[in-house]
Structure 1
Amino acid sequence: MARMTLDQIWASGGRVDRARLDATTDADIAGQAREDGTDTPLGPHEVYPTPATVRRHLGLTQTAIADLVGVPVATWRNWEQGRVTLDPAVRTLLRVLWREPDAFKRAMAAA
């Protein structure tokens, strides 16, 4: 991917549809957060993004993220597809990957 300077970005005008962005309501945003798994339905201490959201956020394939986390790819797929209930350790793992991916990668490299 080519990198652009801030001046180049401003000069290009961007690709944001401002009218659509301005028309987005709080209800739309809340619905999108629910779809992502980044809403807060259970309270601030039990919020976690979904496995698929984390993987897409990091730009990884299922195989690559499974390798990074140290689980079989079938396990990651089961998490993404909701075949199993995520236990608290997995929810914490997702939260760390979402918020501090670089720290997680450093910690795994040191292990």
Structure 2
Amino acid sequence: MTEKRDDITKPRGEADADAPLTDDEFDRGYGATLARRARAATGLSQVAFAARYGIPAASLREWEQGRRAPDAATQSYLRVIARMPEAVAKALHDAA
């Protein structure tokens, strides 16, 4: 079982730097990587990315900063955006 830290928003200190990540810490870090990778593939600002792909800007900011993890469906959406940003944007535009 993974030990939980009292304050999950506190950066890991020297004392617990070698401690294994909790499941929550891992999920938030993985979500941050997915969000950053998807946005980097577009070259857009957070606000422009959020508007283009229908994601609340505040949620995107929380994911990229590792404060929250996107749910499984959103993680899949971010993976698709990272691989095919223009196709996703076109599909969303055509569907509107």
Alignment-mate amino acid for residue 104 of structure 1: V
> TM-score, normalization: structure 1?
0.52
C-alpha distance after superposition, 1:62-88 (max 9, x if no partner): 000000111221111011111112211
Tell me what 2:9 maps to: none
Tell me what 1:95 maps to: 79
C-alpha distance after superposition, 1:33-79 (max 9, x if no partner): xxxxxxxxxxxxxxxx5211221221000000000111221111011
Alignment-mate amino acid for residue 83 of structure 1: R
* Structure number with larger C-alpha Rg: 1
| Percent of pairs with identical residues | 40
Alignment-mate amino acid for residue 46 of structure 2: Q
Answer yes or no: is 1:83 the counterpart of 2:67.
yes
Where do 1:16-55 residues align within 5 Å? 50-55=34-39
Tell me what 2:46 maps to: 62
State the structure with bigger RCO (CA 8 A, min sep 6), 1 or 2.
2
Deviation at 1:92? 0.7
Give the Cα separation in 2 of the matches to 1:86 and 1:72: 12
Question: Where do 5+ consecutive residues of structure 2 fail to align?
Answer: 1-32
RMSD over aligned Cα, in angstroms?
A: 1.3
- Residues paired across the two proteins, number: 63
Answer yes or no: is 1:71 the counterpart of 2:59.
no
Does the 8 Å CA contact 2:41/2:83 hold for their aligned counterparts? no
Give the Cα separation in 1 of the matches to 2:84 and 2:41: 12
Alignment-mate amino acid for residue 82 of structure 2: W
Shift >2 Å, 4+ stretches: none
